[in-house]
Structure 1
Amino acid sequence: MAQSNIKFHLLVVLATTLVGGSFLASANLAGLINPFSLTLLRFAGAVSLLLPFILFTKKWRNKVLRTLPRSMVISLFYSMFFIFQFEALKITTTLNTGTLYTLVPFITAMLCVLVFKDKIKAKQLMIYLLGALGTCWVIFAGDLSRLVDFSLNNGDLLFIAGCVSMCCYSISMKRLYRGDELIVMVFSTLLGGCIWMGLALWLSGLPLEWHLIQGESVLYMAYLVIGATLMTVYLYQKTTVALGPTRVMAYIYMNPAVVALLSLLVNGQSINMQVIPGILLSASATFLLQRQANVNKT
């Protein structure tokens, strides 16, 4: 791992941790309001926090319109992931979606071969398989019978489309980057997310119901807005441009381990010893993919 890139890898680890925390926060908000409205509020809250800085800084304000068309494409892929996820969960289970999400690093790598002419070797394919095995081990808690019983349904097919959207989101961040001011790109992407999720909410006919978020729920929502939306969009935009989509998406294999660790630290929920081998496999795959990326560059 190049010394100059270490800070970007640390930023991806931070983003991965923030995303892991979003699962805990979202669990506390589940059932309070519909997920379309919740996601729109995440985007709208993040936009509101950035808006004063954009409005009162002329050089940033003047660049928004130039950046917005490209950001609309980026935010479309990001929003489509949430839309497919919400629709899929009406039919399938969180266990299935968690398992299928392990496809994202591999699909991203395949798309990068087409878009950026990246090369992928047989050794890398084996590492992706190792990472998927590790995350599935954590998701299924080391119970092979649950893995054997795993089967696809129509909801899973919808979520696979969502996974492809997430891959395209990562790729488009690098492909459509034109040396833009990072804060302007992030603001425009979040603004685009507001537009797309607002359209989805309108088409679904679901109510906003933001007034139902009260008391302790406000704190969970604040975390989703600041930590899991504003900061992660910023961090992923910054690191994807520097490291590339393949290397950033490889950290997805760490998600189950991060959620398990945060559950221990925040909620005191003990980690099942049966998932430890899966956590080690996931960590190994993430490290090996970063190392292999360095080898491919030399």
Structure 2
Amino acid sequence: MTEGRPGAPRTAMIARLAMLAYALIIAGSFSFGALAAPHVPSSVLNLVRFLAAFLLMAALLRIVRGPLKVPVAPWRFLLLGGLMGAYFVLMFIALQLTDPVSTSAVFTLIPFMAAGFGFLLLGQRTHPVVLAGLMIAAAGALWVIFRGEIARLSAFHVSTGGVIFFIGCACQALYAPLVRLLSRGESVFEFTVWTLLGCTLCLLPFAIPQLAETDWAGLNWVVWGAIAYLVIFATAISFFLLQYASMHLPSAKVFPYAYLTPSFVIVLEAGLGHGLPSLAIVAGAALTVLGLLVILLGRD
């Protein structure tokens, strides 16, 4: 645990800022990912982003630390990479069976599941104030997802795709406490590199059949730019930020920042000239921010 150590408040603050940056980066991935998705199959796109991010981070690590050494108990990174790979694979399978709104709604369960796994694996107890903040932030995120329309919310039902994505969300929720549990003293940089490799290896069987079918030569510079954003920011940097936060924050306080992603998407879309949202959606975004403020006030 970070708390109680010298410099703990500063470290925890850096971890919180890391997750704010994480939410902003993921928000940008929606816009850039939409540019690449029609031209590259999802399984191939995910394999490329994780493989390229691994090679990039491994090269940087070699420059900083020297030749790479096989880590102790490498199975840890296959497990962690498998969890993240499962999340992405199941997400895309779910999107083929249900709509994005339904999957987004299921996504709001991740912080609650992370809190549960944190208790089971690490004995982390979530303060009642933090739980209250989670519920407020989740309500705000749901309000944004359903565009502030009660009719959309009341029409929501759990489909087969929703169940599949729930399993994927459980994999991601389990990831945060496992990072702290499985750490053997590696730096965040090293941990990120080997986890990216583990994720790449786990995604490989799903992407190989479609690799040869992708018209790489026919991709324009806009698509390559989108892929570069996904590799550098939405994969390499976001993984680094997530690893750091997972090592220094309780599990219940890691993922709630992702609730800001819909709000950040709104701001980005408005900045791109795609129009402003309704006051109802802005109110939902404000509710999410309020929930996060409550979470910050709760004791770890």
Q: Determine if the TM-score, normalized by the shorter chain, exceeds 0.5.
A: yes
1:10 counterpart residue number:
17
The structure 1 residue matched to 2:162, chosen from 156, 180, 183, is 156
Further displaced range: 249-258 or 91-100: 249-258
Structure 1 residues 120 and 242, CA, compared in 2 at 3 Å: closer, same or farther? closer
Given residue 31 of structure 2, which amino acid in structure 1 is its aligned partner? L
The structure 1 residue matched to 2:207, chosen from 201, 216, 223, is 201
Structure 1 residues 134 and 157, CA, compared in 2 at 3 Å: closer, same or farther? same
Q: In structure 1, the residue corresponding to 2:97 is in which secondary structure?
A: coil
CA distance in 2, matches of 1:30, 1:20: 15
The structure 2 residue matched to 1:167, chosen from 173, 176, 193, is 173
Pair 1:250 & 2:266 matched: no
Structure 1 residues 8 and 56, CA, compared in 2 at 3 Å: closer, same or farther? closer
The structure 1 residue matched to 2:33, chosen from 6, 26, 43, is 26
Q: CA deviation at 1:112?
A: 1.1
Q: CA deviation at 1:36?
A: 0.4
Q: In structure 1, the residue corresponding to 2:290 is in which secondary structure?
A: helix
Q: CA deviation at 1:226?
A: 0.2
Contact 2:129 2:294 in 1 (8 A): no
Q: In structure 2, the residue corresponding to 1:2 is in which secondary structure?
A: helix
Per the normalisation by structure 1, the TM-score is 0.91
Alignment of 1:127-146 (within 5 A): 127-146=133-152
Q: In structure 1, the residue corresponding to 2:156 is in which secondary structure?
A: coil
Q: Aligned-residue CA RMSD in angstroms?
A: 2.0
Q: In structure 2, the residue corresponding to 1:90 is in which secondary structure?
A: helix
Structure 1 residues 210 and 165, CA, compared in 2 at 3 Å: closer, same or farther? farther
CA distance in 2, matches of 1:95, 1:146: 9
CA distance in 1, matches of 2:215, 2:81: 22
Pair 1:276 & 2:278 matched: no
2:108 counterpart residue number:
102
Q: CA deviation at 1:95?
A: 0.7
Q: CA deviation at 1:25?
A: 0.7
2:198 counterpart residue number:
192
Per the normalisation by structure 2, the TM-score is 0.90
Q: CA deviation at 1:267?
A: 4.4
Q: CA deviation at 1:2?
A: 3.4
Q: Deviations over 1:44-91 (max 9, x none)?
A: 1112212333455665512x3426321111111110000110111111
CA distance in 2, matches of 1:58, 1:69: 22
1:181 counterpart residue number:
187
CA distance in 2, matches of 1:216, 1:100: 31
CA distance in 2, matches of 1:191, 1:166: 17
Pair 1:74 & 2:93 matched: no
Count of residues in Structure 1 that have an aligned counterpart in Structure 2: 291
Contact 1:67 1:180 in 2 (8 A): no
Q: Deviations over 1:146-180 (max 9, x none)?
A: 00000011010000001101101222211111210
CA distance in 1, matches of 2:125, 2:13: 23
Q: CA deviation at 1:201?
A: 2.0
Given residue 156 of structure 1, which amino acid in structure 2 is its aligned partner? G
Q: In structure 2, the residue corresponding to 1:255 is in which secondary structure?
A: helix
Q: Matched residues, percent identical?
A: 23
Q: CA deviation at 1:268?
A: 4.2
Further displaced range: 216-225 or 257-266: 257-266
Further displaced range: 125-134 or 78-87: 125-134
Q: CA deviation at 1:128?
A: 2.4
Q: In structure 1, the residue corresponding to 2:109 is in which secondary structure?
A: helix
Pair 1:86 & 2:92 matched: yes
Stretches of structure 1 that go unaligned for 5 or more consecutive residues are none
Contact 2:61 2:190 in 1 (8 A): yes
CA distance in 2, matches of 1:273, 1:67: 52
Runs of 4+ in structure 1 over 6 Å off? none
Given residue 10 of structure 1, which amino acid in structure 2 is its aligned partner? L
